Amino acid sequence: MDTPILTQPYVYLGCPTLGAIIVALTIQRWWKKGSGGGKKKGDGEGGGRSYLDLLPFVLSLCYGLIIVLACSGWSGLGILTRLGLWGGNGIGYAYLVWGIGGDSPEVTRANPVVLTDGGYCVLALWTALIIGNHVWGRRLPRIQNIAGTLAGIFLGMAAGIAGVMAVPLASGLNLAGSWWTGGIQ
- pLDDT score of 184: 67
Q: What is the pLDDT at residue 48?
A: 64
Beta carbons within 8 Å of 176's beta carbon, 6+ residues apart: 118, 119, 122
pLDDT at position 22 is 94
Give the model's pLDDT for residue 5.
Answer: 47
Amino acid identity of residue 101, one-letter, is: G
Query: String of b and e for 115-141 (b: at least 16 CB within 10 Å)?
Result: beebbbbbbeebeeebeebbeeeeeeb
Q: Give strand pairing partners of 12.
A: 106
Phi, then psi, of 37 in degrees rounded to 5: 70, 20
Three-state secondary structure call for residue 106: strand
Average pLDDT over residues 106-134: 84
For residue 148, which of 71, 56, 69 has the smallest C-alpha distance?
A: 56
Q: What is the mean pLDDT of the chain?
A: 81
Q: Give tens-digit pLDDT for 47-95.
A: 567 888 888 899 999 999 888 888 776 788 888 888 888 888 889 989 9
> Is 79 exposed, middle or buried, given 0-12, 13-18 or 19+ CB atoms closer than 10 A?
middle
Do residues 16 and 92 lie in contact, with contact meaning Cβ atoms separated by under 8 Å? Answer: yes
Higher pLDDT, 182 or 23: 23
160 vs 173: which has the higher pLDDT = 173
In the prediction, which pLDDT does 111 show? 67
- What confidence tier does 3 reach under pLDDT thresholds 50, 70, 90? very low
pLDDT in tens, 27-46: 998 888 764 454 554 445 55
Please list, in sequence order, all residues whose beta carbon lies within 8 angstroms of the beta carbon of residue 126, skipping any fewer than 6 positions away.
Answer: 63, 66, 173
Q: How many helices (H) and strands (E) does the chain have?
A: 6, 0
Q: What is the mean pLDDT of residues 132-159?
A: 85
Residue 151: what pLDDT? 93
Backbone angles phi, psi at 108, to 5 degrees: -70, 140
